[in-house]
Amino acid sequence: MTALRRGSIDITMDSIRKQVDQIVADEFELDPESIAPSSDLYDDLGLDSLDAIDLVVALEKTFGFKVEEGAARKIRKVEQLYAFVEERVSP
């Protein structure tokens, strides 16, 4: 398992994915078991454009990075969300 170092915290890809799943579940009152890497954020999980803004804010607060305008619009699947976060917390 690959470990990343963010400040003084080691972050593994697995822990990032678990945190992202938990954020999505908590923010949108979803069962964590219903969230799969292949899930479409809009069609499968029922998010809308306002939810996407809430998701961006939650990710920024949790992981400490800023999402550039328009970058999140390209994300449709949970697995794309994982890759997006992993890319930004990588050293």
Q: What is the pLDDT of residues 15-42, one digit of tens each?
A: 899 999 999 999 999 999 999 999 999 9
The yes-or-no verdict on residue 1 having pLDDT over 60 is no
Q: Can you tell me the distance from the alpha carbon of 86 to that of 51, in angstroms, rounded to the nearest whole number? A: 21
CATH of 3-89 given 1.10.1200.10, 3.50.50.60, 1.10.10.10, 3.10.180.10: 1.10.1200.10
Residue 80: DSSP 8-state: H
Q: Can you tell me the distance from the alpha carbon of 60 to that of 46, in angstroms, rounded to the nearest whole number? A: 21
Taking residues 61-77, what's their average pLDDT? 89
Strand partners, 4: 11
pLDDT over 90 percentage in the chain? 68
